[in-house]
Structure 1
Amino acid sequence: MHAFLSPQMFSNNDEAVINKKLPKELLLRIFSFLDVVTLCRCAQVSRSWNVLALDGSNWQRIDLFDFQRDIEGRVVENISKRCGGFLRKLSLRGCLGVGDSALRTFAQNCRNIELLSLNGCTKITDSTCYSLSKFCPKLKHLDLASCTSITNLSLKALSEGCPLLEQLNISWCDQVTKDGIQALVRCCPGLKGLFLKGCTQLEDEALQHIGAHCPELVALNLQTCSQITDDGLITICRGCHRLQSLCVSGCANITDAILNALGQNCPRLRILEMARCSQLTDVGFTSLANRCNNITDGTLIQLSIHCPRLQVLSLSHCELITDDGIRQLGSGPCAHDRLEVIELDNCPLITDASLEHLKTCHSLDRIELYDCQQITRAGIKRLRTHLPNIKVHAYFAPVTPPPSVGGSRQRFCRCCILL
């Protein structure tokens, strides 16, 4: 913005050259692309620019986190009065000085708000959620993480006044229980993201309500919700078939049963975080991998980091994994000392490069490569020079012979080769 500003372009009056050359509509359009800091600077250039820069249409999206976190409530009130119905997205993340009174004024003035982040606004109480419920029916995304005064009353209020809610973050709001979750999900069926990290009072019954009423759920974070067990999570799996991201790190009570349930019911699963879940074994991960054919290299990276004792890994029909994922796996701690079996049949993106990455897996006893069309005999031969005792199960289509004298071709049976 500063590159094209020069002293000659402005004066103390409103007859600056740029104001004569460009219509106000065009200037207003240019201002719509500027961030908060630049808009405030432009507002100081002249009276005309002050009016244009502070026009409510330029303030549809505001993020004060990188601008000024020590703001007081009156600043939020002034912003709401300036923006009014134009404002759609507001982030007050980390604004510790903002409380219920300012947010009530905000809710009254900005009734078209769709995304609101109050993450870390520790003065917020249930009163703010009552205001949002009363005045902001279009609210879709709400972040209340670390607002530790929030209780079940907030969730009940939101369920009554914000039926369009799609994403809610109440991480570390440890006063929330199953009653609040029940009220929320019964009236907000469109929930797609629910972040409950650190909500330590939640039990399986809360998850049962989610599984019964949130068929659109895509992302769920239950990190350190230490009271939940397989029973609650299995209900989630059976009711939330669109689930793509699940975090249950620190939930020490879960077992392989949840991995089996995810494999059977959640074919879209892409991200699974299960750190510090000490009861999980190879059996569960094998069951999961056999059914989740949409997993990518990202899963292999996490397995290589967090599963140093992995012995058997089945990636059959995982059509999205590539050589890079196998490279990450082959460089992990499990590959050097533990990994004994890896099944890669029907993985069309795997090439001989993957076999090169597995040469250092000294414990590897068996590898399945059926219908891996980019694997060659030469690649397998090179692997066996490093792992002479490995059993390699692979299939190679026979070469079609030239036409016979009679014009017909011989028919060859498909063959499986144990090398």
Structure 2
Amino acid sequence: MSDNHTEPASIDAIVHSPPESMPTTPAPEQQPEHYGADGGRDGPKVKGHKRLWRKVKRMTSSPSLARMGISTPDFRTGTKGSISCISLQSSPTPFGRDCHNNISPFAQCYPTAPTSAASTPGGNAHLFECTRPLTRPVGKDTPVSVGLPVELRPTPNADVVVEEVHDYFSRPVARAKEKKKNVKFWEDMPFEIRLQILDHLTPQELVRCSAVSKKWHAMCFDGQLWQTIDTSDYYRDIPSAVLKNIITGSGPFVKDLNLRGCVQLPQDWTSAGVVDACQNLESLALEDCHIERNSLHALLGQNNRLVQVNLCGLPIATNAAMKILGKHCPRLKSLNVSWCSGIDTRGLRWIVDGCPELEDLRAGESRGWDDLDFVFSLFERNTLERLVLAQCDSVTDETLMRLVWGPNPAYDYLAGRYVAPPRKLKHLDLSRCRNITDIGVKALAHNVPHLEGLQLSKCTDLTDISLKELLPTLTSITHLDLEELGHITSASLQALANSPARKHLKHLTISYCDSVGDVGVVPILQQCTQLASLEMDNTRISDLTLTEAATLLQARNRAAAASAIQSGLTSSTPLPTISLRLVVYDCQNVTWTGIREILSRNSEYCRMAGPVPGAPEIVVGPTHIIHVKCFYNWQPTVEAHTERVQKGDFKRAKRLERLWAEYMRMNEEATATGAGRRQRRRAREAQMAHADEAGGAGVGGSRRRRARSGPSQCAIM
């Protein structure tokens, strides 16, 4: 070959040729090496760890070993190197330009194919050198790396946060995450919200929660939670010390105080006790309490915001307490002084004069109602909506006439009655007022149009004359009590069934009305569709009344089924509920057959036509049932049947009804058969006695007649 042509250098020569700028060290004598069959070089064969170390030297590179703290092996010792020895350290490029362009750094700085030494500009010394470090400037137009979507990223540890730096050669840096602070949910909650939560607890639960800690104790006995103290459910179980602490601790906040039946506070009403603590009461109930008279007067005198006061059955309540109440409590609307022997109309006069907003007055078993001047003051006030005068023997016909008509009523000759401004009474209780007659009750006609409840039980002198005139005028009556009116008949009930009140009547009591029968009760069941309770024990009703009640029940169930079909709720029919209560015990004409009729209708399905003509028939379970209180021997069966119906178990209810009917039928047959046997036995004994008297021996007459002498001859006479 000519001198001008140079052979291309091998890759090993290019790699191991030192740059011109770097000083070279003289190399030792090198022996030619050749590759053997095992991939190693020829020459002295090495074995064991030396052979392994030679392979490791070929595979490793100096930068990686430098980072690991291992000295870089010298590959330029006369042997051939490999591409693994190439240093990736930044060096100036021989091409006079940066490596930061659109071509990758490896494509700019490293050749991808072997070239000759002569054709390479600049020589081999600067082949792998760059003028600037391999950095990548990030600008506005430079594309940045895009991370994985959130759903594909690995979940980091709870205590480690990975900080991502958008750089080409950067790695994620893990740093410790600050632990969340321990959130104290209950302590960080506002105090008002905590009170709202505790307000849903019962008094017993609040007392139990107060034992948790001192903070809970102060919070559970905060006065805002005890604005209403009603001990009617637990007055027997609460100790006096706890009750006193509750009242005294929340005294200024208490508005409704009900201490009915609390007899454990006889010594705690004095100063520095309940009386001094409660000064903002609006409702006070001391029924059947043990309290001193001075404490009662002090309690009534310092609470001028009282609206409701209940002193029922309090023996220490007198007219002096009524005087204090009338002077200091002008906002009073409801007062209950029934069974207070120390209060009469002289004390109630202070209430009527000093409380212009009085609406509810309950003064059962009080005296002085024959004082017509006091009754006239009630007539002039005309604010009462409820007046309870139960068992007041001083109430007479003149009292009722003065209460309704006033002293000088005008007479309407066309209507034939006295005319007066209508009363606002909605509930009037005259039960056990034995001095009332038809004259006083007739005065109520046309003068109490808003009356909803009337109790005339045990007014034994009342007859049909007054009731037939009064009942048609009560257009809004819902509760009517006519118990033990022995002189009334079915005519009064017929007048009630034909009156406008039939649409509103819900509760009717005619117990111990011996003259009332099916003729009066059946029209009530037919006309009074809203009837919910009918007490008619000790009357002359029969199974016909129970059959009519079952018909009323069937009509209600059909109406409910039709409403359910129109609404499309037939698939979720509610469980039956009691809509009518009947009391029929001690009625001689009521038999088990009538009771069975009620039980049968209670478990009977309603079959209704479909909403579209031609649609299949729809079967709907009963919605309303009747509860019967009957003969004590039948009552357990009735209760068991009603319980099964209310649970929706109609099959078991029908089975119980069938078995009970079979039992009652067999019992009647056994009773009838036994009576016939006894009658036949008695007939045979009578026949034998007659045969003896006739001188025969039984039926054949073969025996002789016995002689009868002595006292036995005059036994029949």
TM above 0.5, yes or no, is yes
Q: Please give the residue correspondences for 1:177-256 in structure 2 after superposition, counting only pairs within 5 Å.
A: 177-200=344-367, 202-205=369-372, 208=375, 211-212=378-379, 214-238=381-405, 241-256=423-438
| CA deviation after TM superposition for structure 1 residue 78, in Å | 3.1
1:132 and 1:161 in contact (8 A); partners too: no
2:441 matches 1:259: yes
* Structure 1 residues 63 and 218: CA distance shift in structure 2, 3 A: same
Structure 1: how far apart are the matches of 2:267 and 2:442? 45
2:529 matches 1:336: no
Among candidates 102, 106, 115, match of residue 283 of structure 2: 115
2:467 matches 1:285: yes
Structure 2: how far apart are the matches of 1:18 and 1:40? 22
> Which amino acid in 1 is paired with 2:386?
A
2:283 matches 1:102: no
2:255 and 2:282 in contact (8 A); partners too: yes
Determine helix, strand or coil for the equivalent of 1:264.
coil
> Which amino acid in 2 is paired with 1:336?
G
> Which amino acid in 2 is paired with 1:312?
A
Equivalent in the alignment of 2:202? 35
Structure 2: how far apart are the matches of 1:358 and 1:155? 51
1:241 and 1:266 in contact (8 A); partners too: yes
| CA deviation after TM superposition for structure 1 residue 334, in Å | 4.4
2:439 and 2:466 in contact (8 A); partners too: yes
Structure 2: how far apart are the matches of 1:138 and 1:342? 50
2:80 matches 1:80: no
Equivalent in the alignment of 1:373? none
Among candidates 325, 329, 340, match of residue 173 of structure 1: 340
Q: Deviations over 1:316-357 (max 9, x none)?
A: 44155379879x889986442774997999x7969xxxxxx9
* Structure 1 residues 205 and 18: CA distance shift in structure 2, 3 A: farther
2:366 and 2:392 in contact (8 A); partners too: yes
* Structure 1 residues 188 and 73: CA distance shift in structure 2, 3 A: farther
2:477 matches 1:295: yes
> Which amino acid in 1 is paired with 2:490?
Q
| CA deviation after TM superposition for structure 1 residue 41, in Å | 0.9
Equivalent in the alignment of 2:489? 310
2:457 and 2:484 in contact (8 A); partners too: no
* Structure 1 residues 159 and 304: CA distance shift in structure 2, 3 A: closer
Q: Which runs of 5+ in 2 are unaligned?
A: 1-181, 407-421, 531-540, 546-717
Higher relative contact order (CA 8 A, sep 6+): 1
Determine helix, strand or coil for the equivalent of 2:443.
helix
1:304 and 1:333 in contact (8 A); partners too: no
* Structure 1 residues 160 and 40: CA distance shift in structure 2, 3 A: same
2:332 and 2:355 in contact (8 A); partners too: yes
Among candidates 235, 254, 261, match of residue 68 of structure 1: 235
Structure 2: how far apart are the matches of 1:276 and 1:18? 64
Structure 1: how far apart are the matches of 2:342 and 2:267? 18
| CA deviation after TM superposition for structure 1 residue 26, in Å | 1.7
2:388 and 2:428 in contact (8 A); partners too: yes
| CA deviation after TM superposition for structure 1 residue 210, in Å | 5.3
1:87 and 1:112 in contact (8 A); partners too: yes
Structure 2: how far apart are the matches of 1:232 and 1:117? 29
* Structure 1 residues 68 and 181: CA distance shift in structure 2, 3 A: closer
Determine helix, strand or coil for the equivalent of 2:348.
helix
| CA deviation after TM superposition for structure 1 residue 18, in Å | 5.0
Range that drifts further, 303-312 or 258-267: 303-312
* Structure 1 residues 97 and 206: CA distance shift in structure 2, 3 A: farther
1:178 and 1:202 in contact (8 A); partners too: yes
* Structure 1 residues 59 and 46: CA distance shift in structure 2, 3 A: same
| CA deviation after TM superposition for structure 1 residue 213, in Å | 5.3
* Structure 1 residues 216 and 129: CA distance shift in structure 2, 3 A: farther
| CA deviation after TM superposition for structure 1 residue 253, in Å | 0.6
Q: Please give the residue correspondences for 1:345-384 in structure 2 after superposition, counting only pairs within 5 Å.
A: 360=544
2:363 and 2:388 in contact (8 A); partners too: yes
Equivalent in the alignment of 2:52? none
2:284 matches 1:153: no
Determine helix, strand or coil for the equivalent of 2:250.
helix
| CA deviation after TM superposition for structure 1 residue 309, in Å | 3.5
> Which amino acid in 2 is paired with 1:259?
V
| CA deviation after TM superposition for structure 1 residue 207, in Å | 5.2
Equivalent in the alignment of 2:454? 272
* Structure 1 residues 188 and 341: CA distance shift in structure 2, 3 A: same
1:71 and 1:95 in contact (8 A); partners too: no
Structure 2: how far apart are the matches of 1:278 and 1:86? 50
Structure 2: how far apart are the matches of 1:236 and 1:242? 12
| CA deviation after TM superposition for structure 1 residue 95, in Å | 1.2
1:330 and 1:358 in contact (8 A); partners too: no
Structure 1: how far apart are the matches of 2:434 and 2:512? 28
1:191 and 1:214 in contact (8 A); partners too: no
Determine helix, strand or coil for the equivalent of 2:309.
strand
* Structure 1 residues 189 and 49: CA distance shift in structure 2, 3 A: same
2:385 and 2:424 in contact (8 A); partners too: yes
1:118 and 1:145 in contact (8 A); partners too: yes
Determine helix, strand or coil for the equivalent of 2:391.
coil
Equivalent in the alignment of 2:179? none
Determine helix, strand or coil for the equivalent of 2:466.
helix
Question: TM-score normalized by structure 1?
Answer: 0.69
> Which amino acid in 1 is paired with 2:286?
L
Structure 1: how far apart are the matches of 2:520 and 2:370? 36
* Structure 1 residues 280 and 27: CA distance shift in structure 2, 3 A: same
* Structure 1 residues 122 and 256: CA distance shift in structure 2, 3 A: farther
Question: TM-score normalized by structure 2?
Answer: 0.42
2:379 and 2:404 in contact (8 A); partners too: no
Q: Deviations over 1:287-329 (max 9, x none)?
A: 1112111123x33xx3487567423232344155379879x88
* Structure 1 residues 329 and 220: CA distance shift in structure 2, 3 A: closer
Structure 2: how far apart are the matches of 1:165 and 1:263? 30
Equivalent in the alignment of 2:82? none
Structure 2: how far apart are the matches of 1:181 and 1:100? 29
Determine helix, strand or coil for the equivalent of 1:116.
strand
> Which amino acid in 1 is paired with 2:329?
C
Among candidates 49, 53, 57, match of residue 224 of structure 2: 57
Over aligned residues, Cα RMSD in angstroms? Answer: 3.8
| CA deviation after TM superposition for structure 1 residue 77, in Å | 4.7
Structure 2: how far apart are the matches of 1:110 and 1:100? 16
Structure 2: how far apart are the matches of 1:256 and 1:338? 23
Structure 1: how far apart are the matches of 2:282 and 2:201? 20
Equivalent in the alignment of 2:29? none
> Which amino acid in 2 is paired with 1:110?
C
Structure 1: how far apart are the matches of 2:243 and 2:374? 36
Structure 2: how far apart are the matches of 1:236 and 1:285? 19
Structure 2: how far apart are the matches of 1:228 and 1:329? 23
Structure 2: how far apart are the matches of 1:331 and 1:64? 37
Q: Which runs of 5+ in 1 are unaligned?
A: 1-14, 351-356, 362-419
2:389 and 2:429 in contact (8 A); partners too: yes
